Structure 1
């Protein structure tokens, strides 16, 4: 300071270039750079391949059991559902894996996930649900409604001898 109490010009310059001001200026430069730097172009996720409604027989449905990254399908009352979103339940290693690629109608109606509930003769007629009581049929309706709400119907199931069966 001079005798009049004024700050000299050299001291003013030193206060602008103080370490705290340099740090703040550096942060400002970084923030401005981050805002205006070139950004990577936005890419949309790849759409899954479209699913075509088709007719299945028990022998053509069985390959859709989730093995080898294939989709997981199962049939209920002639409707074939894509249950791939529930792969943890219906796919390999899941609690309901017996139903993958199969007609699950009788098993769902009887609340049984045992292999005994599956049709053994894949070339024979479809299960006509003979022998199910009213409570089991009501249970089946509940399962079917749940599947219709949650999963996509990708086809229908017909017997090998049906005229609509794929050749």
Structure 2
């Protein structure tokens, strides 16, 4: 069976290959030179900043100020009231409000919200006995193994890349 080919210079090209080359050229052209629509003559010109910039959010998140927290002052930030969710790891306090599905009251890490989560994160345990009572001194974590300390450092790195460090956890009598 003979197939139809035509010569372009010294190349022999089939109609199918030529069609595919044209389609590819079209897609590449549209990627490099997108069709940007120009406003028509009847498009109203914005007369104020508020009209011109519609990308702004409806409301901005509250400003977060770095401050010192004690276990008692950290406890209200458990997200149960729908507000901010904070937790501490190795004395660093993170605002994990954006991770409400994980750290909120119904999340799998919800028991760490408003608390020092250092021991639980180091030991990969969500048990309530991993939490130091809020009226007790901070957990010195001296009995953690090297691998548990490395695990805790991994969590700190993860949280530092994902959430805002908004404070430092200090003893109850330091504020």
TM-score (norm 2): 0.69
Name the structure 2 match of 1:36.
Answer: 42
* Aligned-partner Cα distance in 2 for 1:37–1:134: 66
CA RMSD of aligned residues (A): 1.8
In the alignment, which of 161, 165, 170 is matched to residue 149 of structure 1?
161
SS at 1:85 equivalent = helix
Map residues 47-58 of structure 1 onto 2, 5 A cutoff. 47-58=60-71
**Per-residue deviation, 1:50:** 1.1
Name the structure 2 match of 1:84.
Answer: 97
User: In terms of Rg, which structure is larger?
Assistant: 1
* Aligned-partner Cα distance in 2 for 1:113–1:124: 19
**Per-residue deviation, 1:47:** 2.2
Give unmatched runs, 5+ long, in structure 1.
1-33
Change (3 A) 1:105 1:35: farther
Change (3 A) 1:38 1:83: same
Change (3 A) 1:142 1:36: same
* Aligned-partner Cα distance in 2 for 1:92–1:124: 23
* Aligned-partner Cα distance in 2 for 1:124–1:95: 25
Map residues 17-166 of structure 1 onto 2, 5 A cutoff. 36-38=42-44, 41=51, 42-43=53-54, 44-45=56-57, 46-120=59-133, 122-162=134-174, 165=175
TM-score (norm 1): 0.72
Aligned length: 130
**Per-residue deviation, 1:37:** 4.5
Q: Is the 8 A contact 1:55 1:155 kept in 2?
A: yes
Give unmatched runs, 5+ long, in structure 2.
1-39
* Aligned-partner Cα distance in 2 for 1:94–1:49: 23
What are the superposed Cα offsets for residues 7-61 of structure 1, whole Å, 9 maximum, x if unpaired?
Answer: xxxxxxxxxxxxxxxxxxxxxxxxxxx8725488244223222111111110110
